[in-house]
Amino acid sequence: MEASSLPAALDLVSGGGAGLSPEKRAVLGSSLLLLQRDYRFERVWFWGCIQGVCGAYYIAEGLGPDRAAPRSRLYSLNCVEWSLLPPVTEEMVTQAGQLKGRFQGDPSFEYEYTERNAEDVERLFEDGKEPMIKEEARLVATIEQIDRAVGIIPRGAFVKTPLGSVSENRNFEGLSLAEAKRLSSYFHFTEPVNLKNKTLLEKADLDPSTDFLDSLEHDIPQGSWTVQLEKGGTVVVLRSLLWLGLTFYHVPMTKQYGYVYFGNGEKNLDLPFML
C-alpha cells in the first residue's frame, strides 16, 4: 500500500485484527518518506510485516518508472533503519521452498539444507560453499513468492504501453460496487501465466492495454480467496487463504486500493483439505 496514505489504508484493512501500533504507524509515516528521498524512488509501498520468533521484519518496496520492473525491497527491524535486500533469484526461491518453520527475526541466522542429497552437498564443499542459507535470502525469496501468488491490483489500475512498459492509469476512477465484488475484476501483479495459454478467440474480447495480467477467478485451488464488504459496505476486502495474513482493500468508485501482509511467512499447505 502507498506510503503516503498509510494510516488511512491500515484502518481499512484492520477488520482482520492485524495491524500496527500507533507508535509504529507514526514512525513509518516519516521513515518511508525519507526512504523514498534517499533512494530516489518514484513510489514507496509498505509491503507488510513478517513476524519471527525473536523479532519482526518490516518490509518496504521501491518502484521506478516501469511499475512491472523488478522492485527494490528493503527491510527494517525497528521501522527506522532500513537495509536493502539482495535481488531475488530462482535459486533463492527454490532453496527457500525447502525450509520449514518460523523465521527467527535475525537476518544473519543460517539454516541448514534438510533435503540435499550427498552429491549436492559434496559439490558445494568442492566449490568452497557451505550447505547453508541465510535468513536474509529466505526473507527476500518469501516476499517474492507472496507477491507472485497473491500480490493483486484492480482491473484497469495499470496500463501497458506499446513499448511494453507498465504505468499507472490516470483515467482509473475505481471499480463499481458490482465489479468490485467479482474475482475477475482483480489481476495478479506479476508475469502472466494463464494469459499466454489462451487461444486467439479467447483473447479477442480482451483489451491488450489493461487485460495483460492473469485474473483471480482461475486461481488454484478454487476458494482460496474470500471477498467481503466492510465499513458499512463501503470497502471491498479480499483475503488470501493460501498465504494467511495477506489482505487487499478497494474503495469502489475511488482510486483507493492496496494490499498488505501481516503473517509469519509460511504458506498454508493445508488449504486443499480445508475447502
pLDDT of 81 above 90: yes
Lowest-confidence pick of 57-66, 70-79, 87-96, 120-129: 120-129
Mention every residue, 6+ apart, whose C-beta is less than 8 A from residue 170: none
The answer to whether residues 252 and 178 touch, using CB atoms and an 8 Å cutoff, is no
Question: Helical H runs in 127-274?
Answer: 135-150, 177-180, 200-203, 271-274
- Residue 45: all three cell numbers together: 509501498
pLDDT of residue 212: 81
Does residue 171 or residue 15 have the better pLDDT?
171
Q: Provide the pLDDT confidence category of residue 117 given band limits of 50, 70 and 90.
A: low
Residue 57: other Cβ atoms inside 10 A? 24
Q: Provide the pLDDT confidence category of residue 56 given band limits of 50, 70 and 90.
A: very high
Which percentage of the chain shows pLDDT scores above 70? Answer: 89
Q: Cell 491490483 sits at which residue?
A: 153
CA nearest to 110, candidates 138, 146, 129, 82 = 138
pLDDT of 200 above 80: no
For residue range 186-195, list pLDDT tens digits in order: 999 988 877 6
How buried is residue 21: exposed, middle or buried, by Cβ count under 10 Å (0-12/13-18/19+)?
exposed
pLDDT of residue 119: 57
Bridge partner residues of 50 (DSSP): 57, 263
Q: Provide the pLDDT confidence category of residue 120 given band limits of 50, 70 and 90.
A: low
pLDDT of 116 above 60: no
CA nearest to 235, candidates 47, 13, 46, 45 = 13
The whole model's pTM is what?
Answer: 0.87
The answer to whether residues 151 and 188 touch, using CB atoms and an 8 Å cutoff, is yes
Longest dimension (CA), the chain: 62
pLDDT of residue 164: 80
pLDDT of 115 above 70: no
pLDDT of residue 21: 87
Given the DSSP bridges, would you call strands 257-263 and 43-51 parallel, antiparallel or unpaired? parallel
For residue range 5-53, list pLDDT tens digits in order: 888 888 888 877 778 888 888 899 899 999 999 999 998 999 999 999 9
pLDDT of residue 187: 92
Q: Provide the pLDDT confidence category of residue 3 given band limits of 50, 70 and 90.
A: confident
- Collapse the DSSP code of 222 into the 3-class scheme (helix H, G, I; strand E, B; otherwise coil) and give the result: coil
Q: Provide the pLDDT confidence category of residue 231 given band limits of 50, 70 and 90.
A: confident
pLDDT of residue 197: 66
